[in-house]
Structure 1
Amino acid sequence: MMKNEQIKASEVQLFGIDGEERGIVETKEALRIARELGVDLVCLSFASSPPPCQLVRHADFKAKADKEKAKNRKQEKGAKVKEIRLSAFIEDHDYDTKKRQAERILTSGDIVQLVVRLEKKESQEAKQIIEQLVRDLAHFGRQEKGIQVSGKQVMAVMKPLD
């Protein structure tokens, strides 16, 4: 993002601190207004002519730039797969705790792998718990595949909503 004297256009479409439109003004005039208010003039896009620019407080600009960098870095890395283990005969309070943990992971943009370890012939109970958890988490993520039942575990993978 270009700001203040880095903007080379002769005139800009100016927006105020609160987003109100101030019209098309010369860049020198926009810089003068920014200096008077003690804020920065930030170019929002280079594609249009005149380029839209906004008056932004320095702290707001810095926080927005840092947030954008972190978002781009996370997209480059990709989502992590985080596993949550449950038992087939889980108590209600423990179930709620695991559900909140899964919600937090999904809202942060990571993938959740729900696993119930089997000890005896409890595959039906384990499958029911996974199905219930997938239903409860439906507004945070979507199930990637069906529920997989293997010899020693029942598993489901959920991806966050886009």
Structure 2
Amino acid sequence: MVPSNSDGLFIWRGVGIPRDYRVNDRIRIAEVRLIDEAGKQLGVMPTRQALIFAQERGLDLVEVAPGSRPPVCRLMDYGKFRYEATRREREARKAQRSKTTNELREVRLEGRIGDHDLETKIRQVKRLLGEGSKVRVSVRFRGREITHPEIGMALLRRVAESLVEDAGMEKAPSFEGRFLAMILAPISTGGKSSKPKDEPAQQTEKEKTRA
């Protein structure tokens, strides 16, 4: 059940929530029309009796239609109700951002990146994908590392396989100078499997010279 303080704020998970429904002993009218947690009409009864119904079922008495005569109250878990309402609102905002965001972001890796740092980068890519952005994931080769493209390919494969539920492969790994890069798109855009092929696209002679 949801306790309330003397200021009329409902205390939910330790946070004061501005009152928009009267709950439990904040309902001070003599009689209410009661609906149970399953939606069944229980009729008009004294508010004290309705509170007893709520307490016996481990629920809250919530005034949902204060303008009615008598006011309509319903039995529910008010904390869960507010939590679900907040979650739905948050998901709606996230979905809206995903529809309007198509920015290409980039996350760069180093050939000698450690496991912990790589996991951090993967979480960063996952967050950007969750915001609706496409992500260019690249591996930078230093010095003679360029002669071992399999190192970069292994890193990109690990990233892609970790995000197979979140991302589709928009552009397969290919060399861009000293970078081996792929582009991942949120899975909702209809991208194909994010798992890269075994070999990156070969460098052109011009790219090798520039590298």
Q: Same fold (TM over 0.5)?
A: yes
Query: Which residue of 83, 90, 96 maps to 1:70?
Result: 90
Counterpart in the other structure of 2:139: 116
CA offsets, 1:85-126, max 9 Å, x none? 1012323343333334445x2684554432212334354432
Unaligned runs of 5+ in 1: 5-13, 43-53
Are the aligned partners of 1:106 and 1:141 in contact in 2 as well (CA < 8 Å)? Answer: no
Q: Is the 8 A contact 1:81 1:110 kept in 2?
A: no
Give the TM-score, by structure 2 length. 0.45
| TM-score normalised to structure 1 length | 0.55
Equivalents in 2 of 1:131, 1:106: separation in Å? 18
What's the counterpart of residue 77 of structure 2? 57
- Gaps of at least 5 residues in structure 2 are 1-20, 23-34, 55-59, 65-73, 189-211
Give the AA of the match of 2:113.
I
Q: Structure 1 55/143 Cα, relative in aligned 2: closer, same or farther at 3 Å?
A: farther
Q: Which structure is higher in RCO with an 8 Å CA cutoff and minimum separation 6?
A: 1
Look up the match of 1:99. 122
Q: Confirm whether residue 151 of structure 1 aligns to residue 177 of structure 2.
A: yes
How far off is 1:146 after superposition?
A: 1.7
| Alignment check: 8 A CA contact 1:41 1:55 kept | no
Instruction: Give the equivalent residue in structure 1 for 2:109.
Output: 86
Structure 1 partner of 2:156 = 130
Cα deviation digits, residues 30-62 of structure 1 (max 9, x gap): 9x7xx53243377xxxxxxxxxxx743333322
CA distance in 1, matches of 2:110, 2:87: 38
In structure 1, C-alpha distance between the alignment counterparts of 2:170 and 2:90, rounded to whole Å: 26
Q: Which residue of 1 aligns with 2:200?
A: none
**Identical columns (%):** 20
115-124 or 146-155: which moved more?
115-124
Give 1:73 deviation, angstroms: 1.6
1:99/1:133 contact within 8 Å kept: yes
Q: Which one has a bigger Cα radius of gyration? A: 2
Two-structure CA RMSD over aligned residues (Å):
4.0
